[in-house]
Amino acid sequence: MGRTQNSKNCSTYRWHVIGNIAGQQIDKKYCSINIFLEEFGGEKTPMNLDKSKVLRLKRKWQNGVKNSEYMKDKTDDLFAKNWNVEFKRINEPRRLKSKVYFN
């Protein structure tokens, strides 16, 4: 039997996200981009983020500026205003929280 959708079994942080998303300051570590999207995905921001969009944005936009190698786009103003985020790749063990049960 596999994991349920709501379970989060993560022992290592993979991403440190720093910056500003739609006016919200962020400086937090995440185990995966999917967990990041639980907080900022879908209709939670004006950008309607999904996994493929986050992967494109983190490659194209750095420090609120689009890389010059990419063509101008009609959505550039939206992302320049709402996406000033840096994804740092990390490999940091997560502190485990354990519960003690007494009978």
Q: What is the pLDDT along the chain (103 residues), one digit of tens a residue?
A: 444 454 456 788 999 999 999 889 999 999 999 999 999 999 998 889 999 989 988 888 877 788 788 888 888 888 888 888 899 999 888 876 666 777 6
| HSE, side-chain direction, 13 A CA sphere, residue 64 | 10
Predicted model pTM = 0.75
Instruction: Give the neighbor-by-neighbor strand order of the sheet with 24-30.
Output: 24-30, 12-21, 83-93
For 28-41, letters b (16+ CB in 10 Å) and e give: ebbbebebbbeebb
The closest alpha carbon to 64, from 26, 33, 21, belongs to 21
User: What's the CA gap between 87 and 18, in Å, rounded?
Assistant: 7
User: What's the CA gap between 83 and 45, in Å, rounded?
Assistant: 10
